Each structure stands twice: as C-alpha cells, then as structure tokens.
Amino acid sequence: MKQKAEENMKVDMLAELPWSEYAARLEAGATVLVPVGANEQHGHHLPLGTDTVEVLAACRVAAAHGDFLIAPPIAYGYASQIRSAAGNHWPGNISLQSSTLVAVVSDVVRSLIRHGAKRIAVINAHYENTWYLLDACEQVSKEVVQAGSDTRIVAMMCWDAVSPEVWHEVDATSGNVPLDLAHAGVLETSAMLHIAGEQVHEDRVQEASYVTFPPYDVFPQDPTGLPETGSLSSPSGSTADLGRTIVDDMGTNMARLLNEAFEKPAVERNLPLR
C-alpha cells in the first residue's frame, strides 16, 4: 500500500521524472519554473546558498497550488553589489559575469521550449540577477515571436509575491527595511529558520543598525564602512513562525500570479513607438 501511495504522489521536481513522464506533463500544459539563486555570504548566521534554498522553497509551495514543474535551480548569480549584498569580495561569493548568466538562463529556457514547454517562469531570489534575467527572457522571447510559437515566458522576483499584509508583519519586527537592505536580515533569516533551521546559526545573530549608503556606486568596489557581519539589516527578532508565514504566502501568491500572467491574452502586435 505504501509503495502504491508513493507512486501516486505528484512529483514536481523535473530532474526526478523519467523523460516520458516529463514530456507528458508538458503536453498536459504544466508550467515550468526555473529557480535562480546565488552563492554569496549572508552574514555569520546564514549559509552561502541561502538565496537558492529560499527560491526553491517558494517554488515548492507554488507547485502545491497548481500544475508546476520545477527545473534544477541555477545556484550561481551575478556579482553581489555593495548597496544590496555588501559587495562581492567576501569568501564564498561565487559569481557569474552578466553575459554568462544571460547565456545560461537563455540556454535553459531554449531547451525547455525545444521540449515543448509553453509556459515558462524564471523565478529569482538574488537581487542583482534581476536585469540579466529580464535580458535573457527578452532575447528568447524575440526568437519565440519570430518562430511563430505560442510559448510565453514570465520573469519574477519571488519576494515581490509577498503580500502587503505579510510585509507588514515583517516590518513590525525589522522596521521598514527596503528589499535591497533586507540582505541577511529578518526577512531572510526568518525564511531560513522555517525552511532549513538546522543551517541557521542563531547563536551568531548580532544586533546591528541598518546600513545607509550614498546614492552612487564606486568601482573598484569599496567595502569601507560595511558591517563586519555582512548583514545589511539586523536579523534580531527572526522566527521560524514568521518564516513559515513568509514562505507560504510567497509561494501561494506566486502560483496565483503566474496563472494570471499566463492566462492573459497574448499580445498580437508590437505597440507603436512614442
């Protein structure tokens, strides 16, 4: 009975399926999620793979609310910047050049299209990836249009799926911290306490003031004045319960928003230039 029950369970991880079952799921209209994270420092208390762990968890929650397949995550991202991730000089920051990231994501999406995927969503958790993932999706979408295909591609930052009500709960603990300063703070620490609490070193959490930056970037990157922890806001007050609320809300809303995006009528012509 146990073996039969396990056979009937829906598998959402693309890499865990035989090719024939994968093909059948695509034929039936499954949406493929491509999680993109990073390997970068997240303070003394969080693991280097935090972004990848978080985006994969959000995708798993989304998959419980619809017909979604989760592609193997892309675990490396664009170089961390001073004003959003405390810079790229930290040990453990393994980064891709922008052209490499665009090429990797484009090739993955092209492969999915070749397999017959009609609905593809590139889901990001690493702030600095954003514009390069948009570039990759834009490049492939031009090929899709030229080929006359009805495949649609969506790019989404997973944190943008968090509802205002849950952001209010986060702010009640952290203060009004913008997303670019949430690096290794309450938002991410709470999420990780829920997803992979055994990887969080709570004894290393340190109270810290929020970092403020001038409105410009300097190159070569200048780490002067950065907190020695690598956190851009304080993780104090983080809890697994808050993390569960964040991740469940994010994943559930992702599923709803993606379904809405794919169900909108396709654009039949380019808008005129203005």
Nearest CA-CA partner of 142 in 116, 110, 114: 110
CATH of 10-263, one of 3.40.50.10310, 3.30.70.600, 1.10.357.10, 3.40.50.2300: 3.40.50.10310
- Coil/strand/helix, residue 77: strand
The Cα 63–Cα 57 span in angstroms is 10
The domain spans of the chain are 10-263
Neighbours of 143 (CB within 10 A): 14
Q: Which residue matches tokens 């989304």? A: 62
Question: What local confidence, expressed as pLDDT, does residue 267 receive?
Answer: 58
C-alpha torsion sign, points 72, 246, 170, 201: negative
- Given a contact cutoff of 8 angstroms between Cβ atoms, the answer to whether 95 and 129 are in contact is no
The 10s digit of each residue's pLDDT in 168-184 is 999 999 988 888 889 99
Question: What local confidence, expressed as pLDDT, does residue 188 receive?
Answer: 97
- Given a contact cutoff of 8 angstroms between Cβ atoms, the answer to whether 78 and 95 are in contact is yes
The catalytic site residues sit at 40, 42, 51, 126, 128, 183, 188
The yes-or-no verdict on residue 252 having pLDDT over 60 is: yes
The pLDDT confidence band at residue 268, using thresholds 50, 70 and 90, is: low
Mean pLDDT of 47-75: 98
Question: What local confidence, expressed as pLDDT, does residue 135 receive?
Answer: 98
Helices (H), 67-204: 82-85, 98-115, 130-146, 164-174, 186-196
